[in-house]
């Protein structure tokens, strides 16, 4: 019988890496359509975009950390880079745009991986 505990960290790491790598690239290449956001969420995203540096910094960090997770290199560093981003994703979806379960999945994966790579 296959030991699930043996493969669970690799599966979680790969899934988390894919999420951040793909959505980070989407921030630069606009590959996927996005549904309309509530007014408060759109105002917040607009304010981030208006700075001129925040979204490229955020999406660049997501791409780099996602690539680190996918390549299984410097995983603790990647998790540390993603921790404040994950907190903001969860807060954004909890307070400004509720109803997206992916934010909670990302939080669960981050916490599980932090425990697995402690």
Name the residue range of residue 55's domain. 4-28+39-116
User: Which tokens go with 111?
Assistant: 């916490």
Q: Confirm whether 34 is domain-assigned.
A: no
Q: How many domains does the chain have?
A: 1
Q: Confirm whether 33 is domain-assigned.
A: no
Q: What is the pLDDT of residue 34?
A: 86
For residue range 77-105, list pLDDT tens digits in order: 999 999 999 999 999 999 999 888 999 99
For residue range 14-66, list pLDDT tens digits in order: 999 999 999 999 999 999 998 888 999 999 999 999 999 999 999 999 999 99
């Amino acid at each position: 019988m296959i030991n699930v505990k043996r493969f669970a960290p690799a599966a979680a790491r790969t899934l988390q890496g894919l999420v951040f790598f793909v959505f980070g690239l989407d921030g630069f290449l606009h590959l996927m359509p996005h549904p309309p956001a509530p007014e408060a969420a759109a105002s917040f995203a607009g304010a981030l975009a208006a700075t001129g540096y925040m979204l490229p910094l955020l999406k660049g960090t997501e791409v780099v950390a996602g690539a680190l997770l996918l390549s299984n290199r410097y995983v603790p560093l990647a998790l540390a880079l993603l921790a404040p981003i994950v907190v903001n994703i969860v807060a954004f979806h909890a307070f400004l745009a509720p109803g997206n379960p992916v934010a909670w999945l990302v939080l669960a994966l981050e916490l599980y991986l932090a425990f697995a790579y402690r």
